[in-house]
Amino acid sequence: MTLLAVLLAGGALVIGTISGRAPTSLAGAVTRTGPATAPLPMPTPQPTSTGPARPPPTGSQHPAVVPTFNRSARSIDGPTSLWVVVDKILPLQPADYTPPDLVEVPVPHIWSPLLRAEASKAVVAMFAAFTTEKGLQLQSHSAYRSYSTQLDVYNKDVAANGQAFADTSTARPGTSEHQTGLAIDISALPGDCSLDPCFGTTAHGQWLAQNAWRFGFLLRYPADKVQITGYAYEPWHFRYVGVDLSTEMHNSGVTTLEEFFGLPAAPGYH
């Protein structure tokens, strides 16, 4: 019996080794008949965080709309429009047009100036700002001119200098910005380089060139745009177009109405 027990124990050890199960003690062994234990599930891999969690997006995800300047907001043909373009190939219609709201401009002057009401207020504000900022004074040299007055000015220029020269410095009647009631010739007070290109080198002319846009004015005939405007450099001639347009032109760096509105250059009359 002892030998038999030894042989049985040895067999159980061999069987356990082959099956991978540990041998069960023969003495007092209890056989389990219940279900086998299910294997534990594998853990789910978690994403590795590289920083703080981003908050969920809020609001509209559409790209912001950048407002653009509306170049068709006003007419460039109608004589009463602040944006009307008048040059050697774009005369006023009608040629003898007279602005409906001319008023006297209460600023120092050589000849009593008339301008359209909105332009007049802008001139007053501009002159006051210049005096405040520079401690100097400006004056109006010439403002509104009627068709008949422009005819007289042009004929005198032709008589004195010939038509070829006159056409570079004086508009023919019906094609002058002065007739719109929106243009003004400005000089220093007391006079210094009045109606002369050297006005652009004075403190008065330099301030106007740099700041007139703030008040809705455009230096209409720049030195580098003669082939566009058809006129020689006039650092004294300023045209009122309104603050919205003058600001847009200043910010975009476009200096002539012809270029801004995509119009043909006007170096000469048709």
Of 93, 186, 197, whose CA–CA distance to 142 is shortest?
186
For 102, the 3-state DSSP assignment is strand
Catalytic site residue 234? yes
SS3 103: strand
CA angle 54, 60, 63 (to 5 degrees): 100
Which residue is catalytic, options 133, 177, 234, 259?
Answer: 234
Alpha helices (runs of H) in the chain, residue ranges in sequence order: 2-19, 117-134, 147-161, 163-169, 203-211, 226-229, 243-252, 257-260
- What is the Cα 202 distance to its own chain's centre? 29
- 110-148 in b/e burial notation, b at 16+ Cβ within 10 A? eeebbbbebbbbbbeebbeebeeeeeeebbbbbbbbbbe
Burial-class residue 83 by CB neighbours within 10 Å (0-12, 13-18, 19+).
Answer: buried
Among candidates 240, 260, 238, which has minimal Cα distance to 249?
Answer: 260
Q: Which residues form the catalytic set?
A: 234
